[in-house]
Structure formats: structure tokens, C-alpha cells
Amino acid sequence: MPQASTRQLGPPTVDRHIANILTKIHQPTRAAAAAYATTNSLL
């Protein structure tokens, strides 16, 4: 099995993963997720 550093994910795959994460944390955008994380001391 290839190491993580050698795997390549296409932009659509990354976009889908990010969309799934944003849905799970109930945030509409990456900026909103970052603001939420900062406000709640998660970063």
C-alpha cells in the first residue's frame, strides 16, 4: 500500500471531503468553520 505522502487526490475529491465536513459541523463555508473554530478555541 502506498504511503500517504505518495497518494494524490484530485480537486473534486478534496472538495467533496470538505463539503462533507462542513455539513457535519453545520457551517456553510471554510471561513465560517475557521471563525467557529477560533471563537470556540479549537485552533
Q: Could you tell me the three cell numbers for 39?
A: 471563537
Domain assignment present for residue 4? The answer is: no
Domain assignment present for residue 6? The answer is: no
Domain assignment present for residue 31? The answer is: yes
Domain assignment present for residue 22? The answer is: yes
Domain that holds residue 42: 13-43
pLDDT digits (tens, 9 = 90+) for 3-26: 656 778 899 999 999 999 999 999
Domain assignment present for residue 8? The answer is: no
Q: For residue 29, what pLDDT band results from cuts at 50, 70 and 90?
A: very high
Domain assignment present for residue 18? The answer is: yes
Domain assignment present for residue 2? The answer is: no
Question: For residue 2, is pLDDT > 70?
Answer: no
Measured distance between the N- and C-terminal CA atoms of the chain, rounded to whole angstroms:
32
Q: How far apart are CA 23 and CA 13, in angstroms?
A: 15
DSSP states of 1-43 as a string? ---GGG----HHHHHHHHHHHHHHTT-SSHHHHHHHHHHTT--
Give the number of domains in the chain: 1
